[in-house]
Structure 1
């Protein structure tokens, strides 16, 4: 199992990047959807590299990738697949951070669907706390979120459409409750009428969150957050 560097949007500012945002796409993605969306975040995070991590397993469609197997798998087998992918992804993050001479406090993860599950799993288990995690349309279970394995408590934003036919919004609600129960700083953003996708408000919500999580001293506090439930 191997995770490769996908497309990268280099920091728009001069000099080496100060932040790294790693993107984890959905299963079956045949194009770099998140890396295309990240173009919207560049003007706010001028000193950040946006890097797509390519999922390690081949998908059903030509040139598609996925993070772990689900079809015909039991809950225990799926959890084992998540842990296996997470171990490889952790090594990938160590390499990408070392390459840029950055530490975890300058790192954020943005994942969609399976990518969201891996981002949450890894973000809560890194030896050092990263800047933040954004999870779009994830299915991360409450049991996993409340696991005794939690070693870090990064800022987390959960974004989910209430009309998602693939991953019920109940998964987001349960995950949020479980994270709050172990004092993980988590906020949520529910999107009315939105299915299994990222809408414009979700894009903007993620942008605001990343700015606050990574460049806290330079971002003015706003009069609202994204806890829309």
Structure 2
């Protein structure tokens, strides 16, 4: 079962929404919860959780992965996301139950491999969640989306033009595939930003979160 660091609502009391942050390859929930702390003031009644992926990377301290990356091929990404999806999907369901919240009060925020997971899982849940924010990532197996998509929550894709890990063109490829599948998509380009999220991206993410969780 997945678990990781949590932030209770700044305003105190019961959360009226939940943000789940999904970390990237070689990272962990502690790393992503720091991102939550930056946008938490804009969402004072919201709870945050950043689960650690169940698979650890050998010989690396506190480094987790949703699936091993050996070739970074499309086939490897598709198989990896499909393998890891049930654990994240079950975690989302249990967290909503834990807080007594409905699907439309859930926002997924992914970074890199976590974006791949968030898009893969979020679009295949039967009831639409509030939204998905994907940072510095890509859409896995776009060719299967039309057949497998079950809901169409709004999506915000954020990507830096200087990303040397996940190519910047992944933003346009994902946006086109999602639009073709009927998913409402917004994009935010961060000029000169590498494989990270800049202050402009954080501001865009916070504004999107406030809007979809209003």
Normalised by the length of structure 1, the TM-score is 0.88
Q: Distance in 1 between matches of 2:47 and 2:151?
A: 23
Higher helix proportion (structure 1 or 2) = 2
Where do residues 117-156 of structure 1 align in structure 2 (5 Å cutoff)? 117-141=116-140, 143-144=142-143, 146-156=145-155
How far apart in 2 are the matches of 1:150 and 1:189?
A: 23
Structure 1, gaps ≥5 residues long:
216-229
Q: In the alignment, what sits opposite 1:35?
A: 33
- Aligned residue for 1:36, secondary structure, equals helix
Partner of 1:17: 15
1:14 Cα shift?
3.1
2:147, 2:163 → 1: CA distance? Answer: 29
Change in Cα spacing, 1:161 to 1:127, as seen in structure 2 (3 Å) is same
Q: Where does residue 5 of structure 2 map in the other structure?
A: 7
Show the counterpart of 1:205: 204
Which 5+ residue runs of structure 2 have no aligned equivalent?
A: none
CA contact (8 A) 1:145 1:175 kept: no
Choose 22-31 or 206-215, whichever is displaced more: 22-31
Q: 1:115 to 1:28 in 2, by over 3 A?
A: same
3-state SS, counterpart of residue 147 of structure 2 = coil
Cα distance between partner residues in 1 of 2:169 and 2:106: 28
Q: What count of residue pairs does the alignment treat as equivalent?
A: 213
Deviation at 1:145, TM superposition (A): 6.9
Change (3 A) 1:115 1:30: closer
Decide which moves more: 162-171 or 25-34: 25-34
